[in-house]
Amino acid sequence: MENRNNKGLILGIVAMIVAIIGTGVAFAALGTTLNVTGTAKVTPASWNIHFRTLSSPTITGAATVPTPPVLSDTTINNFNIVLTKPGDSVTYTFYVENSGSLAARIGTFTAPTGPTCTGTGTNATNDASTVCTNLTYTYKNVTTGNTIAAGDVLAAGASTQIELKIMYNSTATALPDAEVTISGLGFSMNYIEN
């Protein structure tokens, strides 16, 4: 009997193994493999915003330019002009160019709070006030006709012309007694990706 019980037990174990294998095969027959394949690459964009083509000054009246401005890729500096009477002015034009492949916009535009006038003679305070009251300093986007402002867009491959003008108003009725130095005429445009 023991032999029979062993044979029954063995047959039971074999039947169980066959059932487990059959279930695994049944589940394997119902399986699905999903694949995702592909490639990617990064083509670098180019960023190149710079100044280009600073004009010779347009001079009105008796104004002079003892030191012309120096243009580099990202700065225009060291200009020195002299105004001597009402109606005198000096005007420069230049371009901001986007030679890159990304559109750009002015993120921040830092404008001067107004020119600062410093007198040098015995009536320094009055002279400074006279000059600053009669001085006009403008910078505008000639391409659009608008004042330069944050948010101005410069498309890839495009350029915009800017005009910078310093003028002693023609309506002025007074001149300083001595030389007055004018500072604070700079501005800054910070271009960022649009």
Taking only the tens place, the pLDDT of each residue in 18-48 is: 666 666 555 556 777 788 888 888 888 899 9
Q: What is the pLDDT of residue 38?
A: 86
Overall average pLDDT of the 91-105 stretch: 96
Dihedral of the alpha carbons of 132, 182, 142, 187, in degrees to the nearest 10? -110
Domain residue spans of the chain? 49-193
Query: Using an 8 Å Cβ cutoff, are 173 and 133 in contact?
Result: no
Between 5 and 190, the more confident residue is 190
Average pLDDT over residues 150-176: 95
pLDDT for residue 125: 95
Q: What is the pLDDT of residue 37?
A: 86
Ranges of beta strands (E only) in the chain are 49-52, 58-60, 64-67, 70-71, 76-77, 80-82, 89-98, 104-110, 116-119, 135-141, 153-154, 159-168, 180-183, 188-193
Question: Where does the chain have alpha helices with state H?
Answer: 2-29, 124-134
- Residue 113: per-residue pLDDT: 79
Question: Phi and psi at residue 66, in whole multiples of 5°?
Answer: -65, -35
pLDDT of residue 88 exceeding 80, the answer is yes
Phi, psi (degrees; rounded to nearest 5) at 12? -65, -40
pLDDT digits (tens, 9 = 90+) for 164-180: 999 999 999 999 999 99
CA–CA separation, 70 vs 165, rounded Å?
Answer: 16
Report yes or no on whether pTM surpasses 0.85: no
pLDDT above 90 covers a percentage of the chain that reads: 64
For residue 85, pLDDT beyond 80? yes
Bridge partner list, 168 = 135
108: CB partners within 8 A, 6+ apart: 150, 188, 189, 190
